[in-house]
A and B are shown apart, each in its own frame.
Chain A
Amino acid sequence: KQEVTQIPAALSVPEGENLVLNCSFTDSAIYNLQWFRQDPGKGLTSLLLIQSSQREQTSGRLNASLDKSSGRSTLYIAASQPGDSATYLCAVLMNRDDKIIFGKGTRLHILP
């Protein structure tokens, strides 16, 4: 059974710092991995999708990497800003039409 873990559960860093959020999964035979952002009281916004054949994806200040063999993904946020404060969730999909499996998220607070 696939399990997705995100560490740490919460993180506070000063504005301007680069930071890394971690995601690990127990079954490496994934179809893809997706990173989401959730603001309080809002739905989830998709940030980056990494297919199983890919190693990383980039969007602006965000970079997500995938190491299937070790069951790990990282989300790198460069030059953090207070607007980056949110909960970040990692999710994996085992097969294209399967259900997505979420981690519990990392609550990020950027200190101005």
Chain B
Amino acid sequence: SQTIHQWPATLVQPVGSPLSLECTVEGTSNPNLYWYRQAAGRGLQLLFYSVGIGQISSEVPQNLSASRPQDRQFILSSKKLLLSDSGFYLCAWSWEGEQYFGPGTRLTVT
């Protein structure tokens, strides 16, 4: 069966600090991978998606970036966090059109 891991589960970072969130998928190869953000009381916002290693599509211009160094690894990064980066970050993968989500990372920027 397929499993998706995200870490850390929670994170508190000061403004201006760097960020690295990691997502890995087990049990499948060449999945489509996604990063979403969910701000408090708001809907899901797609940030990045990837259909293969090194292939990243950005949906929202901002100070975040994503990388896919391995087939089943997706990393979300920032060089300098902003207060507005606070939120719930969700990684997801899809196979044959069905999407599955990880447990999420709660990021608070102080």
Residues of A within 8 A of B (CB): 31-32, 34, 36, 41-46, 49, 51, 89, 91, 93, 96-97, 99-100, 102-105
Contacts and interface: CB of A to CB of B under 8 A. Distances in A.
Contacts of A49: 97-98
Contacts of B34: 99-100
A99 B97 contact: no
B90 A102 contact: no
11 contacts: A41-B104, A41-B106, A44-B92, A45-B101, A46-B100, A96-B97, A99-B46, A99-B49, A100-B34, A102-B43, A105-B43
List 5 tightest A-B contacts by C-beta distance, closest first.
A44-B101, A104-B43, A43-B101, A96-B97, A43-B104
Please report whether the interface of chain A is mostly helix, strand, loop or mixed according to DSSP.
Answer: strand
A100 B94 CA distance: 10
Interface residues of B, number: 23
Most buried by B among A36, A49, A99: A99
Contacts, number: 49
A95 B97 CA distance: 8
B97 A31 contact: yes
B103 interface: yes
A93 B97 contact: yes
A1 B77 CA distance: 29
B74 to A, nearest CB: 14
Contacts of B106: 41
Interface in B22-44: 32, 34, 43-44
B96 A96 contact: yes
B16 to A, nearest CB: 26
Given A41-B106, A99-B59, A46 B98 contact: yes
Nearest to B34: A99
B87 interface: no
Most buried by A among B32, B96, B98, B106: B98
